[in-house]
Amino acid sequence: MCGIFGIITDREQPLGPILIDAARRLSYRGYDSVGCATLHADRTIDLRKDVGKVDDVAARLDFAAMTGRRGIVQLRWATFGVPSQINAQPHLDSAGEMVGAHNGNVVNNVELRQQFSAEGMIVRSMNDGESCVHAVERHLRRGCDMVEAIRRAYDDLEGDYAFVIGRADDDRLYAIKKSSGLVVGLADGATCISSDLPSILPLTRRIMRVNDGEIVILHPDRVELIRVADGEPIAREAEEIVESMAAAQKGGYAHFMLKEIHEQPQVARELLHLLNASAQVAPFLDRLANARQLYLIGCGTSYHACLLGAVYLAQLAGRPAIPILAPQFIPQGLPTVGPDDVGVFVSQSGETKDVLNALYAARQRGMTVLSLVNVIGSTLMKESEIALPMACGYEISVPATKTFTNQVLAFLYLALRLGKHATAELARLPDLIQETLTAAEPQVNAIAPELAAWDDLYCLGYGATYAIALEGALKLKEITYAHCEGMLSTEFKHGPLSAVREGYPVIFVSGPDDVPLLVSGINETACRGGHTIAIGEDDDRLRANAQTLIVLPSSGPLLSPILAVLPLQLLSYQLSVARGYDPDFPRNLSKTLTVD
Q: Kindly list the catalytic residues.
A: 2, 591
Cβ–Cβ < 8 Å for 165, 217 = no
Residue 350 zone, left/alpha/beta (φ > 0; ψ -120 to 50; rest): left
| 328 close to 338: Cβ distance less than 8 angstroms | no
Say how far apart CA 483 and CA 473 lie, in whole Å.
Answer: 8
Neighbours of 497 (CB within 10 A): 16
CA dihedral 538, 555, 268, 341 (to 10 degrees): 120
Q: Is the torsion defined by CA of 204, 210, 216, 222 positive or negative? A: negative
Strand order in the sheet with 45-51: 45-51, 33-39, 67-76, 3-14, 190-194, 183-187, 206-209, 239-240
- For residue 397, give the nearest of 196, 255, 300 by alpha carbon: 255
DSSP per residue, 515-548: HHHHHHHHHHHHTTT-EEEEEEE--HHHHHH-SE
CB 494 within 8 A of CB 466: no
Please, what's the largest Cα pairwise distance for the chain? 82
Give the dihedral of Cα atoms 199, 204, 209, 212; nearest 10 deg: -40
Cα separation, 237 vs 206, whole angstroms: 10
Backbone angles phi, psi at 397, to 5 degrees: -60, 135
Task: Taking the CA atoms of 456, 461, 466 and 467 in sequence, report the sign of the dihedral they define.
Answer: negative
Distance of alpha carbon 180 from its chain centroid, rounded?
12
Packed helices 402-418 and 281-289: angle between N→C axes, nearest 10 degrees: 70
